[in-house]
Amino acid sequence: MADNTAVAERALADRVLHRVDDLRDELVDTISRAVRIPSVNPKYPGQVYDDVVGGEGEVAKLMAEVYASVGAEVDLFAIEPGRENAVGTIRGAGGGRSLIYNGHVDVVPPGDAANWRSGDPFSGRVDDDRIWGRGSTDMKSGILAQAFAARALRDCDVRLAGDLILQSVVGEEVMDHECGVTAAVERGYKADAAVVSEPSAPPSPLAVIPVSPGLLWFSVTVVGKASHSCMRGQTIRAGGAGPAVGVNAIDKGVLIFEGLRRLEEEWGQTKRHPLFAPGHFTIHPGVITGGPHGVLVPFVISEFTTIEYCVWYSPDDDPEDVKREIEAHVARVAQTDSWLREHPPAIEWKLNWPANRPDAGEITEATLAAHEAAAAGSRFAGRPDVAGFAAVEDATFLTLGGTPAISYGPGDLRVAHADDEYVLIDEVVCAAKTFAVLAMSWCGLEEG
């Protein structure tokens, strides 16, 4: 009997996989439609909120239509007007494990359209092998691969035992999770596991991603003492009047810059995680401002330097320990300079995007197995790589909300946020197949 069941389930899975292939053109067309809706996150730095808000909601409404078409109960809700989240729940027959498929509808701004080969960042143009446009890789193809997995299951009359919950949320690109993924958690959406369809690559297409690093943003500011810039000689030469005349904050900022570079260099050897490339964890100096207060001209000995850093830390590290390590290092550097000893650098911690470190062995194994079944005979055949996510993402907030979340999806972070973003259609189709097989194996099938 058991053998017969296994044979029947394999035959059913084969039908579902063929159905995904049949849906290829419709899937591609729907992704193209979604890309053509500019859904730039209205809180992204440099955006005028009122000019930009609304695109996310339009994509969520498109997703809600797709969810309704697969028989899901649709829930559209917003914390801020125009920024709807769409959730589609496909109720299981009972007795199975529940599963959330999640992704975000917001995109980052496209930059200068002139830098795009097509001239239109939101063209949604379809070539033989790819779909172009902002949001194609990150991550409208991911949420639609998940939705079309549900579509193939429905078309093949597959009734799952556990609930399958499809989510398209806003706000990911600026960690505005209270408006997006966390709003869904607080609305009561929880499951036994979740898979976020963020782009898997690098290291390789359709890798399974059980962890992501954490991200800290901080600034460090040092002060100087203003004086006419012609006094520079007095302030730096042996035998000059030194700090009695002036202190250039830029020179002092360079001491901090160099000190943190040395710590970052050390991290290359000391901060390791088995799922990340050696050297992944860094202290990135992204912005330097400095000069006299008021007008930025070089005719005054500079009064301040501020360096803004973003820190990528290991999922195994406690962010409070990382903060303490950086603060202690900056303090030690300051001790080596008589001015900085008296005028200690000021550190301001601005953001912590927590790492994702779920207890997710089972969903990771199930996703690996689903991919192997779905990709057989394709160029993605075989066991996928298991790797850490290079960046940060919403899986963190699903996990913190009580649903262990990993990620797996079509696309590549190296083209996300870049000019000429695209996604490869074969990857999208393979991902849709994996999502279909995974829903069957994770949620189980209705008895009888």
For residues 213 and 432, what is the distance between their CA atoms, to the nearest angstrom? 26
* Assigned token pair, 234: 């007095």
Judged by beta carbon, residue 80 or residue 138, the one nearer Zn ion is 138
Does 106 help bind Zn ion (rule: CB under 5 A)?
A: no
Q: Is 35 helix (H, G, I), strand (E, B) or coil?
A: helix
Residue 103 CB, shortest distance to Zn ion, in Å, is: 8
* Position with the least CB separation from Zn ion: 138
Judged by beta carbon, residue 139 or residue 152, the one nearer Zn ion is 139
Judged by beta carbon, residue 27 or residue 395, the one nearer Zn ion is 395
Residue 199 CB, shortest distance to Zn ion, in Å, is: 7
Encoded one letter per residue, x for contact with Zn ion by CB under 5 A and - for no contact, window 50-69 reads --------------------
CA-CA-CA-CA torsion for 45, 48, 51, 57, nearest 10 degrees?
40
Q: Where are the beta strands (DSSP E) in 340-383?
A: 346-353
For residues 398 and 316, what is the distance between their CA atoms, to the nearest angstrom? 18
Q: Applying CB under 5 A, which of residues 75, 84, 106, 138 lies at the interface with Zn ion?
A: 138
* Assigned token pair, 12: 């059913």
Single-letter residue type at 352: N
Site residue total, Zn ion (CB under 5 A): 2
Judged by beta carbon, residue 31 or residue 139, the one nearer Zn ion is 139
Kindly state the DSSP code that residue 72 receives in the 8-state scheme: P
For residues 276 and 210, what is the distance between their CA atoms, to the nearest angstrom? 11
Q: Applying CB under 5 A, which of residues 131, 139, 166, 395 lies at the interface with Zn ion?
A: 139
Contacts (CB under 5 A) with Zn ion, residues 334-393: none
* Beta bridge partner(s), residue 65: none
Judged by beta carbon, residue 97 or residue 140, the one nearer Zn ion is 140
For residues 63 and 427, what is the distance between their CA atoms, to the nearest angstrom? 20
Encoded one letter per residue, x for contact with Zn ion by CB under 5 A and - for no contact, window 184-213 reads ------------------------------
Judged by beta carbon, residue 35 or residue 139, the one nearer Zn ion is 139
* Assigned token pair, 118: 């097509």
The stretch among 93-101, 131-139, 214-222, 250-258 that binds Zn ion (CB under 5 A) is 131-139
Instruction: Tell me if 104 sits within 8 A of 98, measured CB to CB.
Output: no
The stretch among 126-134, 138-146, 147-155, 340-348 that binds Zn ion (CB under 5 A) is 138-146
List phi, psi (to 5°) of 195: -125, 120
Q: At what angle do helices 425-443 and 141-155 cross, to 10 degrees?
A: 50
Residues that bind Zn ion (CB under 5 A): 138-139
